[in-house]
Structure 1
């Protein structure tokens, strides 16, 4: 679990750096994909899922 969280933090920081540098390359997409997979397998996944469901529900009620 510690390695997974460290990897999530590493790829998250790397992704922020690449996006701030306005680099949209294949490597940025790969980092984003790895970050997503690692985040989904971490303990934060239920909170992220709940937040995204709430945003989707709120967006649906605005229509």
Structure 2
């Protein structure tokens, strides 16, 4: 069985759990989100996207 989930949804769930369980403050989460939006408009965005895609392909190659 293969599950496919959006990276944004997965990261959103992780942030939610950090907010509730690990003491991540809402202001920290907002700053991280804003940093991500600004980072996506830089020249590093294609490299970051390629790295994320490569990592996702690596993970999807594992068979449990």
User: Which category of TM-score, normalised to the shorter sequence, fits these structures?
Assistant: 0.5 to 0.7
Mapping 1:41-52, distance limit 5 Å: 41-52=41-52
Aligned structure 1 segments of 4 or more residues deviating by more than 4 angstroms: none
Structure 1 unaligned spans of 5+: 1-21
TM-score, normalized by length of structure 2?
0.61
CA RMSD of aligned residues (A): 1.4
Structure 2: distance between partners of 1:25 and 1:52:
26
Structure 2 unaligned spans of 5+: 1-21
More helix by share: 1
Structure 2: distance between partners of 1:23 and 1:36:
20
Structure number with the bigger relative contact order (C-alpha 8 A, sep ≥ 6) is: 1
TM-score, normalized by length of structure 1?
0.62
Aligned length: 42
